[in-house]
Every structure is written in C-alpha cells, then in structure tokens.
C-alpha cells in the first residue's frame, strides 16, 4: 500500500472557528495512520494574514475570487491523491443576507479536470433545507463535481436528496470526530477547574446571538430555588466575525441579564478560546450539556459532537444535529426560544440522577465510534477508495433505493 497524499482546503488553526479546529484535527488523525501525508491550503479571514505551521503550503484570502484561482494552481502542483474540501457557505464565497457568490465549483473544475485530475471529496459543514435556487445550484454542482461527498449526520444526506435532488449514491456519512477522553471521575475535573461542589450545566464554544444563551439564563431562575448548587457555565470567546462588527455587545447584554435576575452565583462566563483539550475537560466536569441554539436548520455542531463523544446527558433545542443525536432516549429536546421548556427538561434530569446516568450510558455507547482515531481510519479508507476509483458502497449515508430524489 503506497503513501496516500491528502490536501485539505479550508480554515485552519490558529484561526478561531469550528472548521479550523476540525481541519486541524482531521489532518492530525489522517497522519496518525500509516502511510498518509496531509497538507493544508488555509483560508485567511478577510483582510488578515495568519501565521501557520509548516503543514500549510498555501493560503487563500477569504472573499477574493482570484485568491481561490491561485490556490487551485497550487493544488494542481501539489499532485495530491485526494483534495479534502471543508465547505461552508460564505467561507467559499460571498454571503451577506443571502448567497451572492460561491467559488467552490470553479475550484473543483480547475483541479479535477485535465490530464492531472485530482479527485475531490468535500465535507459539507452546512446544508440548508429549503434552499434558495442559487444555494441549490451551488451545492448540487459541488456534489456532482466530486468523487464522493461527506456528511456528518444521516439527516444531511436526507436533506440533500429531498431538497437538492442529489442522489445519495456518492454521499458518505462519517461522524464529526472527538478527542479521546481520560477515564477519570467527574469530581476530578470539577476540582481541577475550581467547580467542586457544584452541579454543572454547560454551553461551550464561540459566543454569538445564534446560541440563544439568554433563554438558558432565564431558565436558571426556575432551577435555583430547588437546586441552589446548580451553575450554568458559558465557556468560549465571542465569535470573531461578530466581534469585528459589534464587539462584546451580546456578552454584555447577557451579563446585564444575569445581574437583573440575581443569578451571579449561578451563571459564570469564561471568556477565552477553548482548545480541544479544554473543551473536553469542561465537558467531563459537566453534569448536563445544554445547546439552546436558535437555528432549527443547524446540521452540525462541533461542541455537541464533543458532548456526544464524552457521553454527556444533553438538553437541546430541536435542530437537525440534536434531533438525530438525542434520539432513542439519549437526551431531551426543549422547545425553541422557550426558557420554560429548557427549565422543564433540566429539572427532569436534575431531579432524577438515575435517568441522567442512563442517558450518559446511552450517549457513550452511541458516540463510541466518534473518537478521532476511528474517524481518521474511516476518512483514510474513503480517500484510498476514491483515489483508486473504487466503489464506496459501505460508506453510504442512505440506501439508494430508500430515497427518491
């Protein structure tokens, strides 16, 4: 078996966003497999030029078509076996109130045609249901121009089939990877993080108004009378894109709400960017993980994936990712934009530790295949199949006969 050379194109650390962390973790998981080399073309934030590790062999200025065209030239020169595109609308083009331009198709055409064609495998991080016509055309073009397409949840493949008319024949499901976790008691992590004696409800990751944190804070008012030890921990810096335009406005509004409701002893903010290990440590200290998100169409959440991988009891609003992950009793779904519903779900778990532990066991079993070493193996096998022009039948997210595009 010869060396497999993979080129990853997307955002990359030290950029602070979920796709950058994912690309970094993916590259590391790939190169931990025997006979695999992985390099990166990184997408810089608009107007910035980040300093990267030596694994980054090229860069793209976000929002600039000519920069994507130059990156395609670099990609052709690399002569990789497979190009792994990390796609999100707006990142690969221009998105304001709606999609104005997307450069992915032209990039794919440039590198996957001609005598030195390189097969493309995009991982789709956003799949919007009921898309506009431009969105539908772009995503269909990406999938049809690729050798295989990765979704992280079966729901993603269903949306592609139902709303985009895309055949599931080349759509593969590989879960969002999570780090391996230390098998230490919860009290150990609470003690290390200065949270001993508290019942921890946490929400982690980049902070912006789409997270719906205000509804969770209001829900805490209903908990503290019977659970005064409960602490809602909101850990993560403000999303850089939001911060560039509105600074810390949202965080300050949340802090004012905490003061107004007299919850300063029961809500705590940690305003810093979380590394993978820090996120895992906070999760392992948590008794319940909470995602009060406001976007019903969210198909992937990295922090929810981490919560699944660490075997947490989860309460979430019903976005696509949560609905699939929390099925079969693995968690509780609260109504969107309802503090009362969130509080009700949290109290069900706080008042019934046995139920909470049963959920943790179910979630741990469900997330067992999500550890990055196993996810890395799946990606390597998929990439080798694609590079060799072999079928990927056992990777398919949906049985072709089960869906009528």
- 97 pLDDT higher than 80: no
- 96 pLDDT higher than 90: no
Q: Given pLDDT bands bounded at 50, 70 and 90, which one contains residue 92? A: very high
* Number of Cβ atoms within 10 Å of the Cβ of 136: 16
| Predicted pLDDT at 403 | 44
Q: Report pLDDT digits (tens) over 358-367.
A: 999 999 999 9
- Whole-prediction pTM: 0.91
The torsion angle over the Cα atoms of residues 72, 144, 96 and 103, rounded to 10 degrees, is 20
| Predicted pLDDT at 89 | 86
Q: Given pLDDT bands bounded at 50, 70 and 90, which one contains residue 331? A: very high
Of 403 and 394, more confident: 394
Give one DSSP letter per residue of 26-83, joined into a string. Answer: HHHHHHTSTTEEEEEEEEEPTT------TTEEEEEETT-HHHHHHHHHHHHHHT-SEE
Measure the CA–CA gap between 74 and 58, rounded to whole angstroms: 7
Residue with tokens 């969130």: 342
Measure the CA–CA gap between 200 and 283, rounded to whole angstroms: 9
Q: 258 by DSSP, 3-state: which?
A: helix
Measure the CA–CA gap between 7 and 10, rounded to whole angstroms: 10
Q: Nearest to residue 359, comparing CAs of 292, 310, 312, 325?
A: 312
Question: Of the ranges 19-33, 242-256, 385-399, which one carries the lowest mean pLDDT score?
Answer: 385-399
Q: Which CATH superfamily is domain 186-369 in?
A: Glycogen Phosphorylase B; (3.40.50.2000)
Average model confidence (pLDDT) for the chain? 93
CATH of domain 4-177+371-402: 3.40.50.2000
| Predicted pLDDT at 1 | 62
CATH 3.40.50.2000 in the chain, residues? 4-177+371-402, 186-369
The torsion angle over the Cα atoms of residues 38, 172, 59 and 104, rounded to 10 degrees, is 150
Residue with tokens 């969770």: 216
């Amino acid at each position: 078996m010869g060396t497999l050379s993979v080129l990853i194109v997307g955002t990359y650390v030290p950029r602070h966003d979920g796709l950058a962390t994912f690309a970094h973790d993916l590259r590391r998981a790939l190169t931990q497999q025997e006979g695999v080399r992985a390099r990166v073309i990184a997408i810089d934030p608009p107007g910035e030029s980040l300093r990267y590790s030596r694994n980054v062999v090229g860069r793209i200025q976000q929002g600039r078509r000519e920069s994507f065209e130059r990156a395609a030239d670099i990609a052709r020169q690399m002569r990789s076996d497979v190009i792994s595109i990390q796609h999100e609308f707006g990142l690969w083009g221009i998105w304001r109130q709606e999609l104005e331009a997307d450069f992915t198709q032209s990039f794919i055409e440039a590198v996957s045609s001609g005598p030195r064609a390189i097969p493309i495998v995009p991982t789709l991080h956003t799949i919007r249901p009921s898309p506009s016509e431009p969105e539908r055309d772009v995503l269909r073009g990406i999938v049809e121009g690729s050798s295989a397409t990765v979704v992280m949840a079966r729901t993603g493949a269903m949306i592609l089939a139902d709303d985009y008319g895309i055949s599931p024949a080349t759509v593969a499901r590989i879960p969002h990877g999570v780090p391996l976790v230390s098998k230490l008691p919860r009290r150990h992590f609470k003690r290390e993080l200065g949270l001993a004696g508290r019942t921890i409800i946490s929400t982690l990751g980049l902070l912006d108004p789409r997270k719906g944190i205000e509804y969770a804070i209001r829900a805490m008012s209903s908990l503290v009378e019977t659970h005064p030890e409960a602490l809602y921990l909101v850990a993560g810096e403000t999303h850089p894109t939001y911060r560039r335009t509105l600074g810390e406005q949202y965080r300050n509004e949340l802090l004012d709400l905490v003061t107004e409701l007299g919850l300063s002893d029961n809500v705590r903010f940690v305003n810093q960017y979380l590394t993978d290990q820090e996120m895992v440590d906070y999760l392992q200290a948590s008794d319940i993980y909470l995602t009060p998100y406001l976007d019903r169409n969210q198909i992937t959440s990295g922090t929810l994936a981490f919560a699944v991988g660490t075997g947490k009891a989860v309460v979430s609003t019903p976005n696509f990712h949560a609905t699939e992950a929390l099925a079969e009793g693995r968690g509780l779904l609260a109504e969107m934009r309802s503090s009362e519903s969130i509080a009700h779900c949290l109290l069900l778990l706080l008042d019934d530790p046995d139920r909470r532990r049963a959920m943790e066991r179910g979630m741990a079993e469900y997330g067992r295949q999500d550890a990055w070493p196993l996810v890395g193996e799946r990606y390597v096998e998929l990439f080798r199949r694609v590079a060799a022009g072999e079928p990927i039948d056992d990777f398919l997210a949906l049985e072709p006969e089960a869906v009528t595009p």
